[in-house]
Amino acid sequence: MIKSIKKSVQDFIISLKPTYAVEVDLYHVIPGVPVKSNKERHDFDKGEFQQAKTFFDEAIVKTSDLKLAPAEIKLIKGRKKVLEFKHFGPVNDIRPSKGKRR
pLDDT at 87 over 80: yes
Report which of residues 55 and 1 the model is more confident about: 55
Cα 6 from Cα 12, distance rounded (Å) = 10
Amino acid at 69: A
**Residue 22: per-residue pLDDT:** 96
* Model confidence band, residue 101 (pLDDT cutoffs 50, 70, 90): very low
Q: What is the pTM of this model?
A: 0.78
Per-domain boundaries in the chain: 18-94
